Amino acid sequence: MNLTNPAITKVNGRNMKTLDFDTVISVINRILDGVLSREDAATWAMDLRIADDKGEVQYHPAELQPLLWESILFLEGVDLKDAPDSYLHNEHDIREFLKSLQK
């Protein structure tokens, strides 16, 4: 997988992943540019969701947590197919999601 993992820091003896807005934007752009597969992006997002379920994700800045969480959920499903040769979220959907983040 050609994807940078979130920064990991120790907080109260626990390894915490830090997720920021620029990383999310980069992942989405890399999907659109064909540099990152949808499957790798979805796996990355799933790993973050699992870490969040364990309380091991810090959102930076904290006030963007709802937006970053929405991004994780969107990216986790970016590889879902609605037919053998088409994705549920087409390229237009991904671009629209990216635009919604940048408002």
- Domain annotation covers residue 1: no
User: With bands split at pLDDT 50, 70 and 90, how would you rate the model's confidence at 3?
Assistant: low
Q: Is residue 84 situated within a structural domain? A: yes
Q: What is the number of alpha carbons within 13 Å of residue 81 lying toward its C-beta?
A: 5
- The predicted model gives 18-37 an average pLDDT of 96
Q: Which of 87, 90, 79 is nearest to 36 (CA)?
A: 79
Higher pLDDT, 12 or 27: 27
**Please, are residues 53 and 70 in contact by the beta-carbon 8 Å criterion?**
no
| Within-domain flag for 61 | yes
**String of DSSP letters for 62-88:** GGGHHHHHHHHHHHHTTT-EEETTEES
51 close to 17: Cβ distance less than 8 angstroms: yes
Residue 2 domain-assigned?
Answer: no
How confident is the model over 36-72, as pLDDT tens digits?
A: 999 999 999 999 999 999 999 999 999 999 999 999 9
pLDDT at 5: 59
Domain ranges, residue 68: 7-101
Computed over every residue of the chain, the mean pLDDT equals 91
Position 2 scores a pLDDT of 45
Reduced to 3 states (helix: H, G, I; strand: E, B; else coil), residue 3 is coil
Nearest to 14 by CA among 48, 54, 60, 69: 54
Whether 46 maps to a domain, the answer reads yes
Residue 42 included in any domain: yes
The distance from CA 62 to its chain's CA centroid, rounded to whole angstroms, is 16
Report the domain count for the chain.
1
**What is the pLDDT averaged over residues 86-99?**
97
